[in-house]
């Protein structure tokens, strides 16, 4: 006989909040909650020779996705994968160097390199392992909490494809916007076409909401962000009316008016952006997500609790509680728990 689970305490609280509906408290989850912080994750990860093999094993990816839901009681799951699966699917292979980060043995330099990349549905078809992980997770979640799908924003993926990894200055990626703007647009369009096909498949496989991570947004001057980032974010948002969307553009406080005009429901904020500043620029219609400094979670419990409550008060209604960037790998689990529990015990009166 099938096990009968108790009904969820807050069915789809997260989706009600993302739709802009009034909720009794803000929902809470953490960027990068899947992987990194949980001992269960490290144990699971130890069974794989490398990160990529793990990511490409749907059962394991589903398990890593479920761990924070089971262990921390967050209000949403985010599929365990990486933004770099897109360059790989387009034909640009990467390696994940243990405790350092990604490295691309070959980078994009010229028109021939861009021409050689696959794009759109053809490239997205190579990501079947992500779709399978979503299907398994969705089944195992059994409606407990919604499932977030994601992709890197085109500018951030472009930056990785040109730099070959992280960078202090992003000068190779930024340089191309001035020296070869047509080529830059050509590559950004190919990334965008692939991302749209990919996210469509994610929704078809069970993703309830989609988040775009523009991790390197803050590296661009405002005019460049408007020319080389916003139009591609717009294309993606417009192409996916079937699911609510979150745009998280780290460091792009200067672009909040533009982001406020995108057809997305939620705007993610980093910890440098005061909630009132964001509300005034992104507009009344958006739900705001964020933005506690991830370093606050190293503080004593009373301070985490006070800062979290103050954050909720500053945002007011139409807020999804989160950190201002991904949770750091060495964050004490107890700090994470205090953050989650403080939000969950909050009650708007
Ligand atoms: O939010 C989640 O928990 C879902 C899983 C997820 C991962 N990466 C797993 C991962 C998500 C949403 C990402 C997004 C991602 N990946 C971003 C955007 C978010 C951000 O932090 O700005 C970026 C820039 C990357 C690229 C990337 N992947 C880097 C720089 C690194 C190395 C350093 C690190 O740990 O962040 C990764 C590896 C990676 N991606 C790990 C995990 C759990 C760690 C690798 C491991 O466990 O071996």
Please give the pLDDT value at position 246: 98
Cβ–ligand 1 contact at 84 (below 6 Å)? yes
**Which value, in Å, is the radius of gyration of the alpha carbons in the chain?**
19
How far, CA to CA in Å, does 247 sit from each of 16, 80, 96, 134? Answer: 17, 18, 25, 20
Question: Residue 148: CB partners within 8 Å, gap ≥ 6?
Answer: 29, 76, 77, 78, 79, 207, 208, 209, 210, 211, 246
Question: Is there a catalytic annotation at residue 317?
Answer: no
Please give the pLDDT value at position 11: 52
Is residue 345 one of the residues assigned to a domain?
no
Catalytic option among 41, 94, 131, 160: 160
Rounded (5°) CA angle 75-81-82: 115
User: Which residues in the chain show pLDDT less than 70?
Assistant: 1-11
Is residue 304 one of the residues assigned to a domain?
no
Please give the pLDDT value at position 98: 85
**Residue with the two structure tokens 């406020």:** 260
83: tokens are 């933004």
Is residue 101 one of the residues assigned to a domain?
yes
b/e code 214-234 from CB counts within 10 Å (16+ = b): bbbbbbbeeebbeebbbebbb
Cβ–ligand 1 contact at 103 (below 6 Å)? no
Query: Which secondary structure element, helix H or strand E, spans residue 173, and what is its range?
Result: helix 171-179
Beta strands in 8-140 (DSSP E): 77-78, 95-97, 101-103
Is residue 324 one of the residues assigned to a domain?
no
- CATH number for 259: 3.20.20.210
Site to probe by mutation for ligand 1, drawn from 56, 62, 63, 82 as the one with most ligand atoms within 8 Å of Cβ, is 82
Distance CA 325, CA 85 (A): 20
Other C-beta atoms within 10 Å of 7: how many? Answer: 8
Distance CA 107, CA 94 (A): 10
In tens, the pLDDT along 175-223 reads: 999 999 999 999 999 999 999 999 999 999 999 999 999 999 999 999 9
Is residue 157 one of the residues assigned to a domain?
yes
Query: What is the residue with the minimal CA distance to atom 44 of ligand 1?
Result: 36
Cβ–ligand 1 contact at 42 (below 6 Å)? no
Distance CA 243, CA 18 (A): 10
Distance CA 56, CA 9 (A): 33
Site to probe by mutation for ligand 1, drawn from 30, 35, 57, 153 as the one with most ligand atoms within 8 Å of Cβ, is 35
Whether 207 contacts 134, CB under 8 Å:
yes
Split into its structural domains, the chain has a count of: 1
In tens, the pLDDT along 301-334 reads: 999 999 999 999 999 999 999 999 999 999 999 9
Distance CA 3, CA 24 (A): 30
Cβ–ligand 1 contact at 31 (below 6 Å)? yes
The DSSP 8-state label assigned to residue 330 in this structure reads T
Is residue 185 one of the residues assigned to a domain?
yes
The residues facing 77 across adjacent strands are 147
Domain of 273 in residue numbering reads as 27-288
Please give the pLDDT value at position 141: 97
Distance CA 5, CA 8 (A): 9
Burial of 2 (0-12, 13-18, 19+ CB in 10 A): exposed
Whether 325 contacts 270, CB under 8 Å:
yes
b/e code 36-67 from CB counts within 10 Å (16+ = b): bbbeebeebbeeeeebbebbbbbebbbbbbbb
Is residue 325 one of the residues assigned to a domain?
no
Is residue 318 one of the residues assigned to a domain?
no
């Amino acid at each position: 006989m099938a096990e009968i689970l108790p009904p969820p305490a807050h069915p789809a609280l997260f989706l009600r909040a993302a739709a802009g509906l009034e909720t009794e408290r803000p929902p809470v989850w953490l960027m990068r909650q899947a992987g990194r912080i949980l001992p269960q994750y490290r144990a699971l990860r130890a069974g794989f020779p490398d990160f990529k093999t793990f990511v490409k094993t749907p059962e394991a990816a589903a398990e890593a996705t479920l761990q924070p839901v089971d262990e921390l009681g967050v209000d949403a799951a985010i599929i365990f994968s990486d933004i770099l699966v897109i360059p790989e699917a387009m034909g640009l292979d990467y390696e994940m160097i243990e405790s350092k980060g990604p490295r691309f043995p070959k980078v994009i330099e010229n028109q021939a390199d861009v021409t050689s990349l696959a794009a759109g549905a053809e490239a997205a078809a190579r990501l079947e392992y992500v779709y399978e992980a979503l299907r398994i997770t969705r089944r195992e979640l059994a409606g407990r909490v919604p499932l977030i799908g994601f992709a890197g924003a085109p500018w951030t993926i472009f930056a990785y494809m040109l730099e070959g990894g992280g960078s202090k200055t992003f000068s190779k990626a930024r340089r191309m916007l001035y020296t070869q703007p047509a080529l830059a647009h050509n590559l950004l369009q190919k990334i965008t076409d692939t991302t749209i096909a990919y996210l469509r498949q994610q929704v078809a496989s069970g993703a309830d909401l989609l988040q775009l991570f523009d991790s390197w947004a803050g590296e661009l001057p405002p005019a460049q962000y408007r020319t080389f980032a916003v139009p591609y974010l717009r294309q993606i948002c417009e192409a996916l009316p079937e699911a609510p969307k979150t745009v998280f553009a780290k460091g792009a406080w200067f672009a909040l008016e533009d982001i406020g005009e995108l057809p997305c429901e939620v705007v993610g904020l980093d910890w440098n952006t005061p909630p009132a500043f964001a509300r005034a620029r992104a507009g009344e219609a958006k739900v705001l997500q964020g933005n506690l400094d991830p370093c606050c979670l190293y503080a004593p419990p009373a301070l985490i609790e006070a800062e979290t409550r103050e954050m909720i008060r500053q945002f007011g209604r139409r807020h999804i509680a989160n950190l201002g960037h991904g949770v750091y790998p060495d964050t004490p689990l107890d700090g994470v728990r205090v953050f989650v529990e403080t939000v969950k015990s909050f009650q708007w009166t």
